[in-house]
Every structure is written in structure tokens, then in C-alpha cells.
Amino acid sequence: MGPPSSSGFYVSRAVALLLAALAVALLLALLVLAALYGHRPRARPAEPCGCGGPDAAPSPAPGAGEPAPTPKSRPAPEPAAKTPSRDWRSPGPWDRLRLPPWLEPLHYDLELWPRLRPDALPARRLRFTGRANVTVRCVAATARLLLHSLSLHHELPAVRGPLSPGARDAAAGRVPVDDVWFAEDTQYMVLELGEALRPGGLYELQLSFEGPVLDEAREGLFLNVYTDQGERRALIASHMEPTFARSVFPCFDEPALKATFNITVIHHPSYVALSNMPQLGQSERTDVNGSKWMVTTFYTTPHMPTYLVALAICDCDQVNRTERGKEIRVWARKDAIANGNADFALNITGPIFSFLEDLFNISYPLPKTDIIALPVFDHHAMENWGLLMFDESLLLLQPSDRLTNKKALIAYIISHEIGHQWFGNLVTMNWWNNIWLNEGFASYFEFGVINYFNPKLPRNEIFFSNFLHGVLSEDHALVSRAVSVKVENFTETSEINELFDLYTYNKGASMARMLSSFLNEHLFISALKSYLEAFSYSNAEQDDLWKHFQMAIDDQSKILLPATVKSIMDSWTHQGGFPVITLNVSSGVMKQEPFYLGNIENKTLLTHNGTWIVPILWMKNGTTQSLVWLNKSSKVFPEMQVSDSDNDWVILNLNMTGYYRVNYDKLGWKKLNQQLEKDPKAIPVIHRLQLIDDAFSLSKNNYIEIETALDLTKYLAEEDEIIVWHDVLANLVTRDLVSDVNNYDIYPLLKKYLLKRLKPIWNIYATTIRENVTALQDDYLALISLEKLFASACGFDLEDCLQLSRELFRKWMNNPENEIPNPIKNVILCYGIALGSDKEWDFLLNVYTNTTEEGERIRLVYAMSCSKDPWILNRYMDYAIAGSPFPFNETNVIEDVAASEVGRYIAKDFLVNNWQAVSKRYGTQSLVSLIYIIGRSISTDLQIMELQQFFSNMLEEHQWISVHAKLQTIKNENLKNKKRSARIAEWLRKNI
């Protein structure tokens, strides 16, 4: 304190005494009020609890009958700081996304009671009540407790303790709760205590609450209303990942805060209740209205995070089998069980469990597995320990799925979720920033499991199609996020949900595959076994995984690495994007650079300056060579040199196991092109696919000339692998090349060039479709590639394709049992309408009216937009905006019509007189989308001006600002594509 000031003012003695008396009186009044108010704990006024409800069982008052609280202990300074008013709080732990490390949850006694009754459907605005007694260990003295709670109404909580270890201490004292408030942004419930908890002490939080059962979103506790055996029914299920457990019960909702759970579910007696563990017992409870309810309790779970807590209340049937003494049950609608739709899933589940148990030498720790098919589940599938949940479309196999990739899809998804029983459930990432440790490895083993059971499958081509192609098309160095994200980068809970993306799943799986490729499968599995054993029932960081791989490397001498496993893999997981590896075969110089969209010229402005430690597996003249490493920006490899005079050729990235694209100098590409024209089969299928995919991506982004990519297609008349053709057609038969009327010069050239080479593979599959279509059912690559082949052939007016479309459509019209093969059904429906009249169109409308399955209705709605008759399309759009008698709620019909070249002009004219009705039917944003669709080929400012004038009265002035900017982007992109198209056309003229 500084010296006293000499300045001041004068107060008389009488006034001073009067002021002193008033001050004392005011202070006494404040003390009395504080004493009265402070001894009455209070929940947040804005969240009153209606937990009692008309049919709720009475709850004992928290702390009733308990002894007086123990004397106050001295709190730790920071946690025990007094809380300001919740309306004006100073910064504190409630502002941070991560929970403070003051408490460690050990066990939850959790009871949930949703009020679902079969005689009260549809059960909208359904609610549930619940209780959670949470045993915690105090790590640091604190008089403030933070735990997660979202959209729950709470009764007054109680805190008991300290408890005696290992015993339910009925005589434990009560810790006063002075205040309860909520930090909405960070989703915390904050308890202000009258005394601090003691470090090392055990305490029990007693919490009663109420919340909504959601019927729109499939998160937390949610409702499915559906039809089964001709009756309307409902079920309740849960989805807690990543942060939805807090909307079901107050909890410590972070993956590292594992605990055990005793779960009790109260439900109507006509339903069955399922949870993570087997049923322990059942009893009956009567509510205040005299209604009977069933109380189902379950055995104690292993230590697990809150996001794996699961329950379902349903009126389903099940099929079951036993695998290694443990029961597996698949639950679904009674109709589906009776029809055998769940049998395939049941029969593959046990063997997949056994394979992974043997692979890791770690038994599945739970005594049972339930799998439930939900009528609607937005998250597709969830790996909850002991109670796996699937959208029924991804679990149940229908007879109509015979000629689809559905069987393979179900097998892949089940394998993925079972893989999580080890990667995620047994060993969990420490926090969500490393969710790829769960999803990436589950994705990798999904692929490995299926290849084990189907060794004839083309594993490399399937991995490319399912994982690699999609993420390489999206990933680039400028804005893509890293696989492993720094925790400090997260500021909001919503950002956690955004992690469930291509980078976590596809790139994560690619990281695992690359790691396996430069080690070997034995070493890879050995390291994973060690990792899983060390962190069972616990949590791990990415560095923990690298440590166990390093231990495996250090225990042998055969495989030598240029750096530690951590250094190698961190270079891939801690930075976004991937490198382009360029080999100059004349000099043997190899270099790496980040892949940028458009290969931005002024790279000095970019911040990406990292390099990757790149494993280079390669082949020369078809023979696999020794692994080399590119661990700096460039390096010389003399063994990779070839000369113009010899017949040697080199391909980098063996089997595409590395996560990068490969470029060559002109001689390198020339040698590969010569080999393709001489003997394409000398280059393995995966590398013919790689050459096409890398070359077109690199040319599109200005790393190589488009002519270099086109040269690789000359041999295609000899290409009989449909997956390679799929990639060629995906790159060449694009809307901007063949559908834009402004590109009238390129269409006949491309048509002549491709049809000349396409006919051999077309004949193979057209014959199969006509004569032995069932042969396709086990050809996974054909099932996913045929649609593009048929669409291209028909799009180029190949007469046999058009004739086959007419045949198949008319046979189906005449007899619905003559089903159109599913892989080409979209194409056949579209061309059946395009080549037909109103007779075919009206037939399809009638099929739509009598179809209930949403996916099929979407397919039919799109097909009806393929008509080339203006009056039919105008009638169709009239039907759509009227909304009756045909609802067409599955998609925006106007957008579907505008997407075709004929429909674009018809939809544009239709909008002139109907834009208000379109806006009312589909929303104002649909008008914006239509502007972009209709204006997709603009290439001049005049065209933009004309479009704005045309739509001028349809949008507000402020909307035009963003629309104009978007149209400018479309224009610039089209101008760039126009230059590319001109070069393609010139090349085609020389090579037809």
C-alpha cells in the first residue's frame, strides 16, 4: 500500500456518527439476508424441474435423514474462488472446453425412465426422467464442481461424503450445496459448495433430472416411429457420441474420464429394454396414476467413457447364435426377422469377432453382443460396447439386394463397428483431437477383415475405391486440416462433431495402411497387440501408439527406418494435405512438394513449408524393388534412372500404399505410355488405375499438361478392367465437357474417340446383363462401376445401349417381376423416360405413387426429370409446386429438371411465371440454387447481367451480392475449363 494522500474533505462529528450507524444497520441487514438465502440451495430459475410429473414415482429429498455436515475444510484457492453472479461472471474454468482436473469419476448408478407407452402413439414431445448417483474421487481440493449437462431440468442436487472406500456409506456426511448454475456456451452445470472437497476423498453426487426424447434429431435419447406388421409402433434408442451423453444425464462427458456404470431402465411391460450389459433382474413399479412399469437392471459395465453408454426400448424380435460361448443377438422389426433379413448380419458377426480376437490375442471382454436395426439412424452405425446400433438399411439384407453391393456394404460396416470393440472401446483416444485412432484403425481393419474372408477380392483396388480416391480428391495443402489436431485449436463443442469426416476415416485408414506397408504385416500387428494390451480399459495419445511401434522396431534388426516412427508419422498426421512426388527418370532426382489445388504459382505467399518423410515402394519393369525413403525436399536415386533407348519403365508407390500422388518427367510418362500400348497387362491393374487417376488430377491442377494424361488413354481398347474404365470415364465424361451446349465441338470428337475403345468392355457387360446377370452379384468392382459405363455409353448414343435400355424398361413395364438390374437401374429408368412418351412417364408416376421406400422414391423422382418433352416437364413442375396429389417431398423437382440440358431452359421459363410458388414450396434459398444451376455455363459478364435481369424481381438486393460473387466464380471456372476443353479437342482431332 502506498503512502496516505494529503487531500480530502471535512465531515462533522455528528454526521460521522449518523453515517456510521446507518452503515452498521445496513451491514446487519445484509448478513441476515445472506444467512437466509445462503442456506437454501437453488437450481437455475430458468430450468425448473418437472421431474415429478403426473406419473413419476416420488423421489426422496436429497440428503433427507443425513447427519449434519462436517466442519468446513480450507479450499484450494483457485477452485474455491467465489462465483460472481451468473449474469456477470468473471472468466473461469466454466469458459474452457475441457473440464478442470479436480474430480475423477469412478462409477455411475444411472436410472432412466422414458414415458413411452404403446397405447399413446405417436408419442411426440415425449420426456424422460432420471437419476444419477456419481461416485467421484477428489484430486484437488475444490468447493466448486463442474460437470456436463445440456437441455436437462434438474432438481436440487446433493453431495455426500467423504465415503469409505469400497462401501456404500449410509452414514456419510452431506456437503452443503450453496448454489447451482449453468454455463450454456460450454454446457456445464456448476455446483458451488459450502465447503471444499478433500483431496483423495470419495464423494457421491446425487442428481435428479428430466429431459426430452428427441423425435427429429437422432442424438441423446431419440424416438423412431415406424410401421411393423401393419401397425404403427415406436422405439427409443440412444446415441451419445461424441458429446450427447450430457443431454441424457449429467456426467463428466470426456473420453478419458472412464467409469463403470450400473444402468437401470424403466419401461412399459410390453417393451424389451437393452443396454451395454446383460440383464441382471426385473421388478415392477407402479406410478402415481396406478400404471405398471417394468424396472430392468443390468450388470456393471467395464470401465468405459460416457459416449459408449447405450440403451434401447423396443418391441422387436431377434435372431441369435453363440460364438465362443458368448451370445450374439440381432434385433429388428418383427417383419424383418420373420423374413430372414437379419440372418446375413448374424452369420458374419461371430466369425468377425473370432478373427479379431485371434489377430490381437485379446478376447472380447463382454459376455454378450446385441445388435439392433433402427428404422431411422442418421449416424448410420455406432459401436456401443455390447449394444451396436445400425440404420436398418445398412444391416438388413432384402431379397431385392441380390444384384447390389449391399451385401458387401453390410459386411464392411459390421467389420468397422466390431473393429471399434478394440480400437475405441477397449483403448480410447485421450480426447477427440485424436479420434482418428478410433476411426482410422477401425476403417483399416474393416478392409482387412473382409479381405481375410474373401481372399480373391482385389484388395488394393477396393481400398482405392472405398477410401483413397475420395480423400485424395478433397485433400490439399492449403486449407485441409491435419488428421491429428491440437487440443488448443478447439474452442466450441460443435467443432468436435466436425471431426467425423474424410480425414478422420479415409485418411486415417490410409495412414494405418501406409504404416503397415513400410513395416510388414507381422511387425504391424505385433506393435498393435502391445499397444492394445498396455492401454486396455484406458486412454492413449497418438504418441503412445508410436512408442509401441518404435518398441517393435527396436526389437528386430531387419527393418531399418530413416528416423523414429514418431518423426515419420508425425510428418503425415500433424500437417494437412499430402505431397506430390516427382521423379526425373533421366537423372534419378526425386523431389517432393505440397499438393495445391490449381498448383498456385506464387507459393511464396503460402505458409505451408513442411516436408514429409516419404516411404517409396516402387517397381521397375514389373519387378518390386527395395524400399527407399525421401526424407528431404529432393534426393538422387541412381537405380531409378532409365534412358530413352531402352525399354525400362519405373512406377512409384507400389499398390498405392503411400498417401501421395506421383509425377514423372516427360521421359518417365513416355515410357509408361509406351508400355501401356505395347503390353498393358505387364502393369498391374492397381497401377493402371493409379496412372490414370494421378495423371488427370495432376493435369487438372496444372502439374502436368492435359495431353500427358490423354496419351495414357490410347491403349484403352485393350483395357478389360471396369474399375480402370470407371476412372477414365469419371475424368473425361464430365458435365462441363459433354453436357454443356457451348462445348459442341468436343462432344462428337470425344464420342468417336471413346466409343471406338469402349465397345470391347461394353460388349462384355452388355452380354452379361442379357444372358447371365446373376454372375455380377459377387463382382464388387462391377457393381460400383457399371452405372458410369452404361451412362457414358448411352450418353454417347451407342445404339446397343439405347436398345438395351428400351428392352429392360419395357419388360419391366409389362411385368414388374422382370426387375431392372440394380447397378444400372438409374440409367435404364432415365433413358426409358428420355426415349419414351407420356405413356412411360405416367407409368413411372404410378410406380412412384405406390412406392414407400424413400431411396426408391428419390430414384423415381429423378428419372421422371429425364424426359425431353417440354410439356411433360412443365406438367411435372406444376405437380411439384402444387404438392398434391403427388407430394414429391424427396427432392427439389425444379432443380432436377434444370440439371439437364433440355430441362435447363424449360425450368428457366417456368420460373418466370411461377417463381413465387417455387419459393413458397421450396424456400427462397431454392431460387438461389436454381440461379447457379441454370447459370452453370456462363462465361461472360454479359451473361451474368442477363441472368441478374432475368431473376431481378425474385431476390432481395442483399442476396444479389453473394449471388453475383458466386456467378463470377462460376464464370472464371468456366473460362479456365474452356481453355482446357480446347486443348482436349485439339488432342482428340490428332488422335481419333
The residues carrying an active-site annotation are: 417, 505
Query: Contact, 710 vs 722, CB < 8 A?
Result: no
DSSP string, 866-898: T---HHHHHHHHHHHHH--S----SS-HHHHHH
Distances, alpha carbon 164 to alpha carbons 50, 135, 161, 177, in Å: 33, 11, 8, 21
Q: Which residue is associated with the grid cell 418391441?
A: 315
C-alpha cell, 585:
527418370
Q: How many CB atoms lie within 10 A of CB 962?
A: 11
SS3 of residue 776 by DSSP: helix
Phi and psi at residue 35, to the nearest 5°: -65, -45
Q: Determine the Cα–Cα distance for residues 466 and 416; give it in Å rounded to an integer.
A: 13
Q: Which residue is associated with the grid cell 404403427?
A: 232
Q: Determine the Cα–Cα distance for residues 51 and 155; give it in Å rounded to an integer.
A: 7
SS3 of residue 30 by DSSP: helix
Which of 737, 835, 722, 736 has the alpha carbon at shortest distance from 785? 722
* Contacts of residue 117, Cβ cutoff 8 Å, sequence gap at least 6: 123, 268
* Contacts of residue 268, Cβ cutoff 8 Å, sequence gap at least 6: 116, 117, 118, 293, 294, 313
Query: Contact, 449 vs 350, CB < 8 A?
Result: no
Cα dihedral 384/390/391/392 (nearest 10): -150
Query: Contact, 365 vs 348, CB < 8 A?
Result: no
SS3 of residue 412 by DSSP: helix
Q: Determine the Cα–Cα distance for residues 809 and 806; give it in Å rounded to an integer.
A: 5
**11 exposed, middle or buried (CB, 10 Å; 0-12, 13-18, 19+)?**
exposed
Q: Identify the sign of the CA torsion 669, 673, 678, 679.
A: positive
Q: How many CB atoms lie within 10 A of CB 233?
A: 20
Pairing of β 628-630 and β 589-594: unpaired
SS3 of residue 916 by DSSP: helix
Q: Is 888 left (phi over 0), alpha (psi -120 to 50) or beta?
A: left
Find the helix or strand (DSSP H, E) in which 318 lies: strand 317-323
Find the helix or strand (DSSP H, E) in which 592 lies: strand 589-594
Q: b/e map of 90-116 (b: 16 or more CB within 10 Å)? A: eebbbeebebbebbbbbbbbbbbbbbb
Distances, alpha carbon 328 to alpha carbons 184, 366, 710, 778, 862, in Å: 41, 11, 53, 27, 40
* Contacts of residue 619, Cβ cutoff 8 Å, sequence gap at least 6: 625, 650, 651, 654, 687
Query: Contact, 575 vs 590, CB < 8 A?
Result: no
Find the helix or strand (DSSP H, E) in which 111 lies: strand 103-114
3-state secondary structure string, 383-394?
A: CCCCEEEEEHHH
Please report, as a single letter, which amino acid is at residue 766: A
Q: Determine the Cα–Cα distance for residues 845 and 839; give it in Å rounded to an integer.
A: 10
Query: Contact, 741 vs 937, CB < 8 A?
Result: yes
Using alpha carbons only, what angle is made at residue 982 by residues 979 and 988, rounded to the nearest 5 degrees? 145
C-alpha cell, 579:
505431397
Please, which residues bridge with residue 390 across strands? 373, 381
Q: Is 873 left (phi over 0), alpha (psi -120 to 50) or beta?
A: alpha
